[in-house]
Amino acid sequence: MDGIAVGEGVVVPGAALSFRAVRASGPGGQNVNKVASKVELRVDHARIEGLSPDARERLRTLAASRLDADGRLVVVSQRTRDQHRNLEDARAKVRHILGRALRPPRPRRATAPSASAREDRLREKKKRAARKRARAGAGRDED
């Protein structure tokens, strides 16, 4: 199987890929019962070339729900009724996931609430406290 070129020097070698064709679910009449058009593409992410340690960690986080018991990334496609097109779709999904892992997250800039937002919050707290105080006083039976 051919490798997948992701860009920025990152390549998934063909040896890191394995795929299996299985019967797809959903509509398709009698054809769905006899043609294996759904594709499960497995990627051994340890063998991906050119991936920095940070990007490798981001990939593990992004693909946590897509890992199989052996730790390989599993991508499934059953979008079309053609096995070859589903394989190309699965390869595109792998390219997309790796592209997301290559992009470092934007740094978060700490912000503070505005003065009016602080005042609004305190005003709401006072109203809520008054409401609860009124409720507590109304429930008592005085002898």
pLDDT of residue 142: 58
Domains of the chain, earliest start first: 4-102 (3.30.160.20)
pTM over 0.85: no
pLDDT digits (tens, 9 = 90+) for 80-125: 888 999 999 999 999 999 999 999 999 999 999 999 999 999 999 9
Amino acid at 16: A
Question: What rounded mean pLDDT belongs to the chain?
Answer: 89
